[in-house]
Structure 1
Amino acid sequence: MTNRTDPPTEARLLVHGGGVLPGLPESISNVRDLIRTLVGDSPTIEDALLVATEVATNAVLHTRSGLPGGTFTIYAEVRAAGDTRTLHLRVHDEGPRTTQHDDPRPADQRGRGLMLVDALASRWGMEPRTPGHVVWLELDWKEAE
C-alpha cells in the first residue's frame, strides 16, 4: 500500500461510472472500456488502463468472484482540483479463494500485478468488506493547458 502524495483537496466530480460484472476474463475488456471513456486522451491513459486491468484481473483470477456465478463490482470517477485530475477506482470482489500469496520467482510470468499498481498509482490500498474486500487506487495527472 502506498501514499506517496496527498490527494487533491476540494475536487469536483467530472465523470463517473461502473457496475457489477461477471467474474469472467471477458469482463476485463468492459473495465478497459470504462476507463477509456472516463479518462479519455489524458497523458496517463496507458497507466490508468494497466492498473485497472491488473486490479480487475486479480478479482477474477484470485477471488471467489472468478468462480462460477461470481461477480465483481467496479466504480470509477474522475475529479478535478485546479489543473490536477484524479482517477478514483474501486474494485469490490467476493473474497479470497485462498490465503496463500507466494512472491513471484524471477521466471514467473504472473504475480507482479500489485507491484505495478504500487509503482504507478498515486495512492492505493485494500479494505475488508463483507463479503470480500475492496482494492482502491487513485491516479493523478496534470491537465494540459
Structure 2
Amino acid sequence: MHSVIARACRAPLSAPRGTTPCSQPTAPARSPRASTPAPSPPPLARHLLRAYLSALPAGHRYADIAELLLGELFANAVQHSDAPTDRLIEIRFALVDDRLRLEVHDAGTGRPALRPTTPTDEHGRGLLLVNELAERWGCCPRAGGVGKFVWALVAPAHPLLAA
C-alpha cells in the first residue's frame, strides 16, 4: 500500500451516508512530505494527489472525483476547525484494493454533519457533494485523542468515462 502525507498550517478561520467502523488511519509509509504556509495548502493538496494518481496505472479513473472530494474535505478542515491556527492539517491517501481512500486530519473537536441548505445559501454544500460522490465517508477520532480525521472512499470511474 502506498500513501502520501502533506502537512500544511491551517489558514485563519474565515467570517453520513454509509460509514464503516473506524480503523487505524491510513498508515504513512515513507513518502514525500510538503509543508507550506496558508493560503496555498488546498492547491498543494490537489497537486500531491494528482502526482500520486499519475504514478498509478489506473490513477486517471479516480482523479476528477478525488480532487473534488479532497478539496471539499480540506476546505472544511480549514474553515470549520476550532483548533488553534498554528495546528497542522494532514492529508493522506492510499489505494486500498481498488478504492482510493482520502483522509484529512485536523486537531479540531467538531465533527462534520450534513445539514439542509436552501437555494439562496452561498455555502454549506460541500458535504452534500462528498455524500453523493464518495462510495462511503465518515469521521473518526485520531489516535491519541487529539482531533479527528474525515475519510472518503472513491470508486474508480468506468474506463470509458475516465478517458
State the TM-score bracket (shorter-chain normalisation).
0.7 to 0.9
Q: Which runs of 5+ in 1 are unaligned?
A: 1-12
Q: Check whether the contact 1:39–1:87 (CA below 8 A) recurs between aligned residues.
A: no
Q: TM-score, normalised by structure 2?
A: 0.67
Alignment of 1:75-114 (within 5 A): 75-79=92-96, 81=97, 85-96=98-109, 103-114=116-127
Alignment of 1:21-36 (within 5 A): 21-24=8-11, 25-36=39-50
SS at match of 2:3: strand
Residue 69 in structure 1 maps to residue 53 in structure 2: no
- How many pairs were matched up? 127
Give percent identity, aligned residues only.
29
Letter of the 1:138 partner, please give it: L
User: How many angstroms apart in 2 are the aligned matches of 1:133 and 1:28?
Assistant: 19
More strand by share: 1
Residue 45 of structure 1: CA displacement? 1.1
Decide whether aligned partners of structure 1 residues 37 and 52 sit closer, same or farther in structure 2, where only a CA change above 3 A counts. Answer: same
Q: Which runs of 5+ in 2 are unaligned?
A: 12-38
User: How many angstroms apart in 2 are the aligned matches of 1:60 and 1:134?
Assistant: 13
Q: CA RMSD in A?
A: 2.7
SS at match of 2:129: helix
Residue 44 of structure 1: CA displacement? 3.0
Q: TM-score, normalised by structure 1?
A: 0.74
Structure 1 segments (4+ residues) deviating >2 Å: 96-105
